[in-house]
Amino acid sequence: MHFEVKVEVSPREGIANPEGSTIERALPALGFVTAGNVRVGKVIRLQVEADSSDDAKSLVEDMCSRFLSNPVIEDSLVEVLEE
């Protein structure tokens, strides 16, 4: 079966996130004074072939730990969207 999978890669808690901080510094200048804790990561979408939704998920989680994210600085969240 084909599964559409979404991976959200985000900076780990406690790791500085220069992109997020830069956006955070820029927001007040545009009048958005109530925003904070901006974190920038990335979203990866891919299709995989697997027997079940759970298999698809664990397959992509394996990809994350070895390749799609760097565990030193990033966390990843895998979500199977549809068959």
In the complex, which residues of this chain contact another protein (CB under 8 A)?
A: 15-16, 18-19, 21-22, 25-26, 67-68, 70, 72-73
Extract the tokens encoding 75. Answer: 């966390």
Closest contact distance (angstroms) between CB of 72 and another protein is 4
Of the pair 30, 34, the CB lying nearest another protein is at 30
The Cα 73–Cα 7 span in angstroms is 16
Of the pair 1, 26, the CB lying nearest another protein is at 26
Extract the tokens encoding 29. Answer: 């200048």
Closest contact distance (angstroms) between CB of 51 and another protein is 26
Closest contact distance (angstroms) between CB of 56 and another protein is 20
Report which of 42, 48, 33 is spatially closest to residue 1, judged by C-alpha positions: 48
Of the pair 26, 35, the CB lying nearest another protein is at 26
The Cα 66–Cα 26 span in angstroms is 34
Angle at 56 between CA 48 and CA 61, to 5 degrees: 105
